[in-house]
Structure 1
């Protein structure tokens, strides 16, 4: 090139590779992200949780909520000559005028009062197993055995044990205590049936408590022991706050079980007697539906039972949450 020639200006056409890349990157940044296959993945991720829960929601809606709505609607129709005809609140008025139903509702109140005992027994046994106190191997070996037995078998066994001339009264007589009519005294029969139910079902709650202990920070218990805390203080200030969620779950499920899973024991052990003292809403529902042929009245009783379970469950959760915050 001659020495006096003017320099050639560098433009886009003559820029090197680095000069081409920088403007291209700037143009892509100005346009924003490309609408391609990568944009669809965030949307799919947002929809994935809804798709996963959809089958469960459909099952609950079809097999739970829809029958519940049908039952509530059926409770406002009549029985017998007025079968299928709207009767308003007549069934509910008849319910609360029936001494058997009012007795069953009083027994629901008794179950609520006995609920802490039903929860404390498996909770304490799970604590013994977790802390390896003397005898914990025995609890671990036999705690689940009653849960695998049929309520009919359990009822038949305890009918023999609790009969007036049975082994339990024989043991009481040996220590100088008179025989007790466990299943024939209206003031005692319900307590006897509830005690049998707690014995028969505490294994499931104990398993839940043991699962909760697996999430508990063991270092907190060790620190409390090092500080000289006694077992009751460890339970009160470390274990109970650490298992608050587990306790809430066990309280609600145990209450539901006591209200809806005692039919077998009641049918075999007392048949609702003596004098209707062991009636529960579920037994009353079966009696009206199966024995008296009054399905609409039974539907009204089912609706009341559902309302009671909902209110009691929500109240228990609220109380336990408040207690957990205070701790």
Structure 2
């Protein structure tokens, strides 16, 4: 056989294997690149919610939780000559022995008892508006209007209306009823101020209820009408179970408003009187801090108010959730 001739041409099988290896190598790199991109995309999607809520969390921590922690820490220090000195539970023991603070806490209990009524009023009005009673558009505007008024203006208006010689007592005199000292009688002054607060603020709760009605399944109301259900049964068995989350929100926000937004009315209408019977914790806190210059004692009262609001809010949510499950 000759030994010096040219090499034979490559066989088709060999060339195919070489080409296949050349094609396969870029395919693996493309696959690895796509995998890395997919992993990065998945990681970005997981991190996106945390990035979006981070500014709000930072604001809450900086403007809410951190001052709250400082206030709780300050409540264990003294006032006056003991300023900055640790006194343990001394401020809390003083609060327990202060008749004005005990009165303010009893009034908190009264507000909790009146809370269902304060929520039911805007809830019923929102129901009537949703059912399109005649003039419902006008009622919506009229009911919301007091919410835009300053508490000072509302207090001044009702001071004139509820005065001993005011228009309301004049109307009572016409029908033969004696005059009532709405703001000077220790037995009814707190009820009067609470009623004015409910009137001035239920417009916001009304808007929340109307927003909740927008998520209500109208077919349920139609089925109730076909079955001949009365308005009361429709509200109890259809509307309330369907608006459980809305009712939870309104309960909690109304309670917070009662405990933290009545200062203006109390200051203008009663100034804590008569005989301290209209004191609430926020008014007590202002009195200790602003009038008596006792910031540590005021911090202790603020801490107690925060704990009360937290406990009451959690209890309300728990009870409403249980009622919703039973329905």
- Measure, in 2, the Cα distance between the counterparts of 1:156 and 1:269: 7
Cα offset for 1:257? 0.2
Matches within 5 A, 1:7-26: 11-14=13-16, 20=20, 24=24
Cα offset for 1:203? 0.4
- Measure, in 1, the Cα distance between the counterparts of 2:36 and 2:308: 55
Q: CA RMSD in A?
A: 2.2
Partner of 2:322: 322
- Measure, in 2, the Cα distance between the counterparts of 1:44 and 1:209: 37
Residue 308 (str. 1) matches residue 296 (str. 2): no
> Structure 1 residues 35, 138: CA separation in 2 closer, same or farther (over 3 Å shift)?
closer
> Structure 1 residues 157, 34: CA separation in 2 closer, same or farther (over 3 Å shift)?
closer
Matches within 5 A, 1:275-286: 275-286=275-286
- Measure, in 2, the Cα distance between the counterparts of 1:106 and 1:16: 91
Cα offset for 1:138? 3.4
Matches within 5 A, 1:121-270: 121-270=121-270
- More displaced 10-residue stretch of structure 1: 135-144 or 79-88: 135-144
Cα offset for 1:173? 1.2
Q: Deviations over 1:178-218 (max 9, x none)?
A: 11110000000000000000000000000000000001111
Cα offset for 1:83? 0.8
Q: Deviations over 1:263-282 (max 9, x none)?
A: 00000000000000000000
- Measure, in 2, the Cα distance between the counterparts of 1:231 and 1:38: 56
Cα offset for 1:291? 0.5
Cα offset for 1:116? 0.5
Give unmatched runs, 5+ long, in structure 1.
1-7
Give the TM-score, by structure 2 length.
0.92
> Structure 1 residues 169, 37: CA separation in 2 closer, same or farther (over 3 Å shift)?
same
> Structure 1 residues 11, 253: CA separation in 2 closer, same or farther (over 3 Å shift)?
same
Q: State the SS of the aligned residue for 1:143.
A: helix
Partner of 2:5: none
Cα offset for 1:9? 7.1
Q: State the SS of the aligned residue for 2:228.
A: coil
> Structure 1 residues 33, 128: CA separation in 2 closer, same or farther (over 3 Å shift)?
same
**Matched pairs, number:** 318
Cα offset for 1:43? 1.0
Matches within 5 A, 1:55-134: 55-134=55-134
Cα offset for 1:141? 2.7
Q: Deviations over 1:31-62 (max 9, x none)?
A: 86755444311111111111001001100001
> Structure 1 residues 127, 28: CA separation in 2 closer, same or farther (over 3 Å shift)?
same
Give unmatched runs, 5+ long, in structure 2.
1-9
Give the TM-score, by structure 1 length.
0.92
- Measure, in 1, the Cα distance between the counterparts of 2:257 and 2:193: 14
Cα offset for 1:167? 0.6
Partner of 2:53: 53
- Measure, in 1, the Cα distance between the counterparts of 2:236 and 2:16: 82
- Measure, in 1, the Cα distance between the counterparts of 2:291 and 2:154: 24
Q: Deviations over 1:217-260 (max 9, x none)?
A: 11110111111111111111110001000000000000000000
- Measure, in 2, the Cα distance between the counterparts of 1:248 and 1:188: 29
Cα offset for 1:114? 0.2
- Measure, in 1, the Cα distance between the counterparts of 2:63 and 2:223: 49
Partner of 1:4: none
